[in-house]
Structure formats: C-alpha cells, structure tokens
Structure 1
C-alpha cells in the first residue's frame, strides 16, 4: 500500500494550497516519504504510522527552527503598519502645550497624541518612542 501514502501526501500538499499555514506541507512531504520507504521496504502498518509521525514531527520542528533563525527579510517600507516608529528620534516644536502629561503634535499631515512632561507651547521636544498611537516625547 505504498501508493496510499503517496496519494495521501499529494492530497495534503493540495490542501496546503487551500488552507494556508505551512503544517500540511510537511505532513504531505512526510506521507510521500513514508510511501517511498514502504515502496522500497514493505513494513507493517503500525511501523508505517510511526515513520510518518516521526518524519512529520522532525520536518515541522526543523522548519520552525529554521524560520526563527532567519533574519527578517528586508523591505522597501520597514515602517509599514508601524507609522509611529518612523518618527522616533525626530525633533519638533510644540504648537500646543503638554498638560497633564498629554498633548497633540502635528507631524506631516497627521496630528499625533503625545505623552511626556508638562511643557509650554513653543518648546522643542524629541520623540523617544511610542505606545500604540501615542508618541512619547522628552524635552530638549
């Protein structure tokens, strides 16, 4: 029954196209490899299932280890979906005072909520970080 494993592996590979996630890919590969092993050396069903399970677990473990060790791929827009981070390190002049620890600051075409020490309008600040959509500032 080696062809049953190969067909099951191909079905799992096809399902990977419909249900993304990566794990069906490695189950499919494990099924095909198990089928090829059984084609060469006929073995009992329980041992076939053991081989399939071990190959699948090793493949998934190796893939996740490799993916975690890879550096993040470069992009032409590293701050995509992290708009606030692009302003870290920039300096600006307050148009409105910071009162009660919060204020507003216009940067580009957006008015950002800022958090920092109470400062009067006209004071220079440096953006040091962000908490979601709130920029943290410090006096210069």
Structure 2
C-alpha cells in the first residue's frame, strides 16, 4: 500500500537511478507475471534440466551442474519464450484479461503480435460477450 501513495509513486528506485546514470534503461515487470518476462521461462527450462542431472552436495558439482543446465537452454527456446512474452504483452495492451491472453497466445502462437481482429475472434470463441 505504501508504494501506491502519491509521494512514493514518482520516486525512482536506487537501482533505476544507478542504471540510468550508466546509460541503461531499467524496465521492471509486474511481480508474479512470469509470462511477461521470458527470462523466468528460461530459468524454468534450465531448472528442469538441472533436476535431471546427478545430485551432489559438493559445491564444485553444483556449480558445474548449474552452468551446464544454463548452457543447455537452446537459443531457439529463448527466442520462442521472448515471442510468447511479446504476445502476452500485446494482449494486455489490447485490453485482454489473463484467460483471454492465454487463449490468444495459444491460438496465434506463430505470430509475434496479435491481429487487430482479436476482440472479434474472442467474441466468436465465446470468451467475450461484446466488442468494446
């Protein structure tokens, strides 16, 4: 609640200020929205690989397994995760809710963005009662 107060809303975080001072643009995704952050999807892929590797309690083995599991995430998968995230962002920009965005992302999985006819398509699919 504190972060929604007017005197907090306009204040930049120390991390954002440090990034901007070095010429970087810091973009923060909403918490708990892993579909918007393809890095989270890459981590999930890597974790699945990691759990298939032999268990060990030795630090050297753990480090090797982590690096190996990160290296085994294919570039094609990273690109697909990125495209999927872009589709979800586009869906939310177009006013879709979570259920509609998931449906649209699955239906238009070969597209980077959703078509302008998305609201009509949702109506035809019974996911929306009227077109806005």
TM-score (norm 2): 0.31
Give the structure with higher Rg (CA): 1
Question: Structure 1 or 2: larger helix share?
Answer: 2
TM-score using structure 1 length: 0.29
Relative to its length, the structure with more strand (as a share) is 1
